[in-house]
Amino acid sequence: MTAHQPRAIRMPPGRGQEFRKDMEKLVEDLQAAITQAFESEEYDKQRREIGQKVGEQQEAKLTALSQKAESQGFVMVRTPAGLAFAPKTPEGETMSREAYEALPPEEQKRIDDGLEALNEELQQIMRLVRQDERGGREALRDLENQVTTYAAKHLIDEMCEKWCEVAEVVDYLQAVLRDVVENVEDFKKPDEETPVMFMGVPVSPRQKGEGAFRKYRINVLVDNSAKTGAPVVTESNPVMQNLVGRVEHQAQFGALVTDFNMIKPGALHKANGGYLVLEARDVLLKPYSWDALKRTLKTNEIRIEDIAQQLGFAATATLDPEPIPFKAKIVLIGEPYIYYLLFTMDPDFQDLFKVKADFDTVADRTPQNEQLYARFVARAAKDRDLSPFSPDGTARVIEHCSRLVEDQRKLTTRFVDVVDLLTEASYWAQRGRRGRGKPVVRREHVQKAIDEKVYRSNRIEERVREMIAQATVMVDTKGAVVGQINGLSVSSIGDYMFGRPSRITATHRLGEGELVDIEREVEMGGPIHSKGVLILAGYLGQKYASDRPLSLSARLVFEQSYSGVEGDSASSAELYALLSSLADVPVQQRFAVTGSVNQRGQVQAIGGVNEKIEGFYEVCQALGAKGDEGVLIPKANVTNLMLNDRVRQAVAKGRFHIYPITTIDEGISTLTGVPAGALSAKGVYPKDTINARVIDRLTALAEKARAAAKKAHDQTVAETSLESRGDK
């Protein structure tokens, strides 16, 4: 353990703060005990004895040398530069420079030799004197160590006895004792009259003491004293420092300084021994966080790192804390695509995160779950101080939860959306309420909240409906037209979807079996829509032209479509329009159609069925409904019907109709009022049915194609014969 490598100690749960307080008290007790020990008479007596002994030794050596010089005719004098020798006159006076120069050369030489010998001996004596001083200082140091140890050891021993069950704490306390002995000056009572200087700046003794004792403080990184079980930690901002911790710095006298007290824990420290819950997307978006998380799991230790050092930038001198052993469960929450992306792209992910839990966003709508949902509504209202919900209000909430997943048999588990609905319904119940107590939230209040949310989001839907009512966008709900039908699509604007009808038209002529999707030709149709159109060609071929050429060229288009078309939910409507064109039978425009189709003529389920039905209903109302309008939907979508109150009431009163359809034959019969016709035992369709008229039209086109081909062949033969005669 060094100043730049702080030591980490694992304490029993909840004991860290206790040890921190014990260390604070220990430092106070040490300061008092050591100060008292150094102010004692015994210490002063021993200190004086050491100083007196050293002084006597030095005086004896210097006195002996002085006497020797006297015997040789020299005297020892003290100068600003130290001790020196000078010759003396017969009268005992110090010889002057003039007197020395008046002496004969032989006498001067004798004096010089004597001074040189005495100076050499003085140097030896001074070395011995300095050794005595060092010995004295060592004796004083030993005395201070003895006094400090005597004053501090019993306090340290008491702490060791209390914390004997933690071996690392005992080792730490013994290290504290050694450090106190080495730095005893910090514990002595400072001289109030002598200012302490730091970098040329006077520092009060109180500030000096606080700074000196910081190294004895305990930095409790994680305190689990208030927890009764394993910690469960969530981190909403998983930057690297918030995960693995950081070392902070503070400005002091113009420089950035730090110590172990400024080490701050990360989420990994707090979750050690428990669970850490992270949003996978947030971790991946923060630089170096994912790498730090994986490194912790690989090494099973938490190491505080500095991003600046990793990037190779010059960094302020900092600490290198001891890595902390890590043992916890990390839970990553995210969308499924993030899981599959990490599973595919990161080889470490499969080894580090082995347990996958895939939660569904829907639950079965069983009586038991409905009861649980009712309890959730009551609990949420209580926790958020909302108005209580009546049974019919709760039933409307549950009904809307099925609407959110478009399935009568399911309920959404996206409770955030449910709580938003509860909050707004409570607001409408309380609005305008006077008197004491909270009003009960009833069905009409829940419906009001649903309607208001739609109102806040349906501006574009209303504008589209207005354009249809003004005939800017052409949609017919009256009469009958050959080769024209109302298809239904869904537009999504954020969290709001609405259905809108579109006119689909089909034309045909003599051709070579070509079925052209105009949307695809101009690159406004998506791949799924193009696939649906190609399926229509397969249906026509297998049902009407399995043993003859399909001699037609058909064109399909969404009229007034300017933003592209995607999806196959309109493929059945396109097929109805084409069959109407081939059979020359008009389609009743009071109908709208949705549903995809396969090559066998089976109508398949689609999405957004509620929005599509509601969208056509509103258009019919805007154009003046007669009450015979309706929508053809796949029969498989019946369980998805969760319509709003207006449409349900209209259906119940017979003012709007919904027709579940299984096959194309069933649908074309409903749209035209003409039977589709079924194959007889002889393999033919009854006369004047849709299928018979289609076959008749395709047969006529095939005969025209054969006639045109025969005429072209005959003309080619005739031209070839004339050319051969000319050659002859």
Give me the average pLDDT of each 10-residue run along the chain (728 residues).
77 85 90 87 85 82 78 75 74 74 78 78 81 84 86 89 88 89 80 50 51 82 84 92 86 78 88 93 93 93 78 65 90 92 92 89 92 94 93 94 91 92 93 74 93 91 89 90 91 86 88 69 67 78 77 81 70 89 92 91 91 93 91 94 92 94 93 90 86 87 81 76 62
User: pTM of whole model > 0.85?
Assistant: no
Evaluate whether 232-352 and 362-457 have a shared fold. no
Tokens read off for 279: 């949003």
Residue 144 CA to residue 670 CA, distance in Å, equals: 110
Task: Output the CATH code of domain 474-700.
Answer: 3.30.230.10
Chain length of the chain? 728
In DSSP terms, 86 is beta-bridged to 75
- How far lies 503's CA from each of 29, 485, 573, 576, in Å? 92, 6, 10, 12
Residue 65 CA to residue 77 CA, distance in Å, equals: 12
Residue 619 CA to residue 499 CA, distance in Å, equals: 10
Task: Using DSSP, state whether 662 is helix, strand or coil.
Answer: coil
Exposure on the CB side of residue 269, measured as CA atoms within 13 A: 23
Exposure on the CB side of residue 370, measured as CA atoms within 13 A: 16
- How far lies 263's CA from each of 209, 233, 251, 253, 320, in Å? 21, 19, 16, 21, 10
What pLDDT is attached to residue 205? 46
Tokens read off for 635: 């029969």
Residue 120 CA to residue 98 CA, distance in Å, equals: 25
Q: In this structure, how many other beta carbons lie within 10 angstroms of the beta carbon of residue 256?
A: 12
Residue 489 CA to residue 7 CA, distance in Å, equals: 67
What pLDDT is attached to residue 409? 92
Task: Using DSSP, state whether 672 is helix, strand or coil.
Answer: helix
Distance of CA 234 to the CA centre of its chain: 10
Q: Which of 654, 641, 576, 651 is nearest to 612 (CA)?
A: 641
434: buried, middle or exposed (CB in 10 Å: 19+, 13-18, 0-12)? exposed
Please give, one letter per residue, the 3-state secondary structure of 328-367: CEEEEECCHHHHHHHHHHCHHHHHHCCCCCCCCCEEECCH
Contact 187, 35 (CB under 8 A): yes
* Topology at the third CATH level for domain 232-352: Rossmann fold (3.40.50)
Q: Which CATH number fits domain 362-457: 1.10.8.60, 2.40.50.100, 1.10.10.10, 1.10.630.10?
A: 1.10.8.60
**Domain ranges in the chain?**
16-190, 232-352, 362-457, 474-700
What pLDDT is attached to residue 637? 92
Q: Which of 419, 16, 28 is nearest to 226 (CA)?
A: 16
